[in-house]
Amino acid sequence: MPPTADELTLVQRILDGSEHGDRALFDSLQTHEKTFVIEVLTELRSSGESHSLNLLWELDYKCRPVTIKEFLEDPYYLGAVGPSLYPAWREVLEEVFSPGRRVWEFILSGSIGSGKTTVAVVALLYKIYTLSCLRDPQKFFEMAPGSPIVFGLYNVFKYKVRTTSFAYAAGFLELSPYFRDRWPRNPRRTADIEFPDGVRVIHGSDELHSIGENIYACLVDEMDFMRAGATEEDKGQAYRLYTSTARRMESRYMRLGEIPGLMVLISSKSSQGGFIETRIAERVGDPRVFIADKPLWEVKPGRYSGAKFPVSVGGRESDSRLLTETEAKASPGKVIWVPVEHRQAFVDDVDAALRDIAGVATEAEQAFIPSRSDIYACCDATRSHPFSKQEFSITISSETAIEDLFLHDQLLRVIHSNFAPRVAASSSRYLHVDLGVTGDSAGIAMGHVAGSKELQKASRVDGASYTTRAPLLYIDFMLRIVPEIGTRIDFQKIRDFIYALRAYGFPIKYVSFDGWQSEDSVQQLLHHGFEAGILSMDRPPKPTEGHPYSYLRQAILEHRISYYAYERFLTEAVNLKRSVPKATHLWRVDHPVYMLDSGGRKVRGSKDVADAVGGVVRHCMVLDPATQDSALPLVGAPPPARQRPRFMDDDEWVMGDDIDFSRVSGIIP
């Protein structure tokens, strides 16, 4: 049997490489293997055929597999489906399965509706076809006779697989004469797909559905939308499924570092730091990994006129937005050019359009505080962290106290030999402490009401505009305390620092702790004459009050809060997510298992400092006399009266509804 054109091309590449001194692969062979390779190459170069190569094929194969191009074009194989694939995807498949490539991880990302799942199913069917050409697949892979060889199809939910990749695979098989007549599936099996020689296609949604299976290849769809993990150890559904199937592919089939199967990972991107975005960044440049990340207009180019407009992709400190051509030329950030046919979608929701149409992840997607530029705009560049370290440990066994690292001059001045606050010395201070246990950090923050700000708003009832004044908030300090490995944070040292703050002259009005092991600290402070209590940042203290985190969100969006650039707080604030636990209809604010800091480094997710700042803001808004109705006059047409502060009357999302405040109110700079 003569060699194919692709094989001749591969041989020519090997010969050309050898001529340029690239002998690494050849030198790694044993003596008898080198002899055979030289014999094959000599025969192919002299006559275009190699009897030795044909004999080698015939030892393992009943027939030589056709190329992916022939598989997609020949009606006998998948020719009924191949012509419907967009040219861009056919080129991708030909590259993935080109001679000399040893791709075992195939990542498909980009826009929704571009045919990623179809391409992935076709790739797995080609892998199934190549197995069907073997005389004895189990013997070829050195497995026990009769051992199943399994292809896995996975999605967020098991039922979703039945209507997507599993349904596609079953339908494509019915259209192929080869799979109907030459290598048919077992008609009595409906829960999965069973071929001759023990080759099966199963489906599921998590790692439990792959346990004990000899996974040869798999397809995992919608990975960015799988369930996130609750802890650092529990890294989420996507990670567990990926590692579970990868380990099975390696342990069953890997030879000399090569895995003959194929893992196909599919998803549009949910957000920066999502599984697919992170996986692409980690695997770029790996020759065993092929990444196809395409926007809709590259997959379907015939639908567009060619005219485009620029869009700035939001970063950590900026929001995504449409640009003029002049702005695009001067923009220092990432700019993409989008066909004008999609302009309205980008005007309506730029972040959603970037994700769904352009296949680009942004940090704003699903963020609790959608505007990163507003988070950074509230930073006062003239202020700095009033501690000698950004974060530090205070443990039971250590002699270090928080006050030892406190930079007094930052927040205090000396008047008549006594300390006094530098800013608003007579204003009541509020503190919130988010405690931590072994392995967890603690967050502490203090702040006060620093005045008021005039806001122009529109009533959501009738659209009438009105003017109101809302409190300006000032965060004196925020601090993250981290535990040392195997030790506990010393809560007494946190209480000692609160005592010291009062001794320095701060008029502390109220101190709160989160619910975890806080009762003792509350009692200790009450015993020392403080007003203290427990505040959970997960739920409203009472039904008539807004969610504790809503006050922080609103203050940031209205630029009514001032704080300094504390790295951990900014990272946490940018990464806060809104979620609704299964067991309740009450929403809460969560953090991801991992998040990206200002340098783009992956760090363990947290919200200790954000909780502390959020608690302070809540106290300022609810407890301070300056926030009551008499101090916040309205001008114009007020909304209907309610039993809560007037400046919140038109913001019903604080009661639990998911309304984007920034879209329904105007803000006076």
Amino acid at position 143, single letter? M
CA 109 – CA 260 distance, rounded (Å): 23
Statement: residue 662 has pLDDT above 70: no
- At 211 the pLDDT is 63
Statement: residue 166 has pLDDT above 80: yes
The tens digit of pLDDT for each residue in 571-616 reads 999 888 876 554 444 567 888 777 777 777 778 888 999 999 999 9
Of 54-58, 131-135, 394-398, the one with minimum mean pLDDT is: 54-58
If we measure between CA atoms, which residue out of 229, 234, 239, 168 comes closest to residue 206? 239
Domain(s) of CATH 3.30.420.240: residues in the chain: 372-664
Is residue 603 within 8 A of residue 595, CB to CB? The reply is yes
**295, two tokens:** 């926007």
Average pLDDT for 235-253: 77
- At 41 the pLDDT is 72
If we measure between CA atoms, which residue out of 101, 7, 105, 17 comes closest to residue 53? 7
- At 531 the pLDDT is 95
Give the residues across from 231 on adjacent strands. none
- At 634 the pLDDT is 41
E-strand ranges in 551-665 read 561-562, 577-579, 588-590, 594-596, 602-604, 634-636
Average pLDDT for 41-68: 71
Statement: residue 27 has pLDDT above 70: no
- Look up residue 301 and give its DSSP letter: G
- At 455 the pLDDT is 82
pTM of the model: 0.58
More confident residue, 131 or 315: 131
Residues listed for the chain: 669
More confident residue, 429 or 592: 429
| CATH fold group of domain 372-664 | Nucleotidyltransferase; domain 5 (3.30.420)
Is residue 305 within 8 A of residue 254, CB to CB? The reply is no
Is residue 268 within 8 A of residue 109, CB to CB? The reply is yes
Statement: residue 406 has pLDDT above 80: yes
The mean pLDDT of the chain is 80
| Distances from the Cα of 101 to the Cα of 2, 54, 249, 288, angstroms | 21, 21, 18, 8
The tens digit of pLDDT for each residue in 619-636 reads 999 898 877 644 444 444
Architecture in CATH for domain 68-299: 3-Layer(aba) Sandwich (3.40)
User: Which range, 6-20, 83-97, 234-248, is most confident?
Assistant: 83-97
- At 522 the pLDDT is 93
Statement: residue 89 has pLDDT above 90: yes
Of 56-65, 82-91, 549-558, 561-570, the one with minimum mean pLDDT is: 56-65
Other CB atoms within a 10 A radius of the CB of residue 534 amount to 14
Residue 561: phi and psi, rounded to 5, are -130, 140
- Give the confidence band of 106 by pLDDT, cuts at 50, 70, 90: very high
Average pLDDT for 180-195: 87
Average pLDDT for 246-267: 82
User: Which range, 77-91, 183-197, 268-282, 429-443, is most confident?
Assistant: 77-91
Domain(s) of CATH 3.40.50.300: residues in the chain: 68-299
Of 171-175, 215-219, 475-479, the one with minimum mean pLDDT is: 215-219
- At 593 the pLDDT is 72
- At 656 the pLDDT is 31
Average pLDDT for 497-520: 91
- At 5 the pLDDT is 47
